[in-house]
Amino acid sequence: MKCKVTDGFFDSKKGVYHPFGEVIIDDEREKEFLAAGVVSKFEKKTEELTGKKEEGSEDDDEIKDLKVTEIKNKLDELGVDYDPKAKKDELMQLLKEAE
């Protein structure tokens, strides 16, 4: 099963860092990662199949639930530049474009 990293983490058993947004396949440890809350089950989205983002998709809902500081942290992890005074809507759009 494929899982998408929702919170960057260091896998101490394998000595590997998994950044936010990475898709990993590890059937042996899937339950462990899901229980820790660092990954979510990954299914192909409309965007991947057609190249077009589906309006109101799960990703949109997940981003809306994030706090401004969480969005900024994810943008920092992805190396995306942003105005520190930017509003949440602007930051959400940058994050959507970066993922």
* Residue ranges covered by each domain of the chain: 1-43, 50-99
Most confident of 21-25, 57-61, 92-96: 92-96
Scan for tokens 């401004």, then name that residue.
Answer: 68
pTM summary value = 0.42
- Give residue-wise pLDDT tens across range 25-49: 776 788 888 888 888 876 655 454 4
Closest CA to 43 of 64, 62, 23: 23
- What is the chain's percent helix, strand, coil content, to nearest 5? 40, 15, 40
75 vs 62, which has greater pLDDT?
75
